Amino acid sequence: EVLLLESGGGLVQPGGSLRLSCAASGFHFTTYAMSWVRQAPGKGLEWVSGISGSGTSTSYADSVKGRITISRDNSRDTLYLQMSSLRPEDTAIYFCAKDGGGGRPYADNPGELGSWGPGTQVTVSS
Amino acid sequence: DIQMTQSPSTLSASVGDRVTITCRASQSFSNWLAWYQQKPGNAPQLLIYKTSILARGVPSRFSGSGAGTEFTLTISSLQPDDFATYYCHQYNTYSHTFGQGTKLEIK
């Protein structure tokens, strides 16, 4: 069974930093691209970032480019999201998601999001 | 980035109804489009990928179609468990985007 569990969320002041983790189990982690998706309170889903299985290729939404870095440690089956220069509008639940394996246009970018973690809450406020 | 405009934002329907949700893209792309269902307090769940392929375990009353700039999710006969929010998701480009969501409510 695929399991994804995010951690590292919390309350942080504007301008601060936070690192989220996503522990994966139940599948061969290295094989699958991964993504982060966020959801602000009462709002819709926003794709944040994606990373290839090897970790060598990354992609970002324009809204976070330059402030957020996605990475992974395949020896630990763990995905990360390093966030800096945080703003109140970054307040959201952050989900990690596993590529569904149904095919994608670019081999080094995630496709559909087949499995999701429960999410971790990030609140940016003074 | 490809912008996805989903309609309607809210849809009121009854059990047994046939409903359709539409996503329109700001530019044409191939079939790299998925649909998700989300219930309050839960993570989204994949329903359909590559425009029309049902994810494992998804009931056959769900179907997807489309091409170019217009994609649709259809539920053939609404069941009580289907009242939720639905999102489309394009993964045709390196930077993915979601539609803004459609909340399906009981009439």
Give whole-number Cα distances, A86 to A16, A79, A123, B69, in Å: 5, 20, 9, 34
Q: Contact A116/A97 with Cβ under 8 angstroms?
A: yes
- In whole angstroms, what is the distance from residue A102 CA to residue B44 CA? 17
A67: left (phi over 0), alpha (psi -120 to 50) or beta: alpha
Contact (CB<8Å) B89/A47: yes
* Beta strand segments in A1-126, E: 3-7, 10-12, 18-25, 34-39, 45-51, 58-60, 68-73, 78-83, 92-99, 113-116, 120-124
User: What is residue A56's predicted lDDT score, i.e. its pLDDT?
Assistant: 95
pLDDT at residue A107 above 90?
no
Average pLDDT, chain A: 96
Whether residue B1 is predicted with pLDDT greater than 90 in this model: the reply is no
Yes or no: say if B41 and A41 are a contact pair by the CB < 8 Å rule: no
Q: Do B43 and A105 touch (CB under 8 A)?
A: no
Looking at the complex, does the CB of residue B98 fall below 8 Å from at least one CB of chain A?
Answer: yes
Residue A59 Cα, gap to closest chain B Cα (Å): 6
The tokens of A105 are what? Answer: 């246009």
pLDDT tens, residue by residue, A56-66: 999 999 999 99
Write out pLDDT tens, residues A12-30: 999 999 999 999 999 999 9
Q: What is the pLDDT at residue A27?
A: 97
What is the DSSP-derived secondary structure letter of residue B4?
E
Mean pLDDT of the residues in chain B = 97
DSSP at A19: E
Chain B residues close to A59, C-beta within 8 Å? 94-96
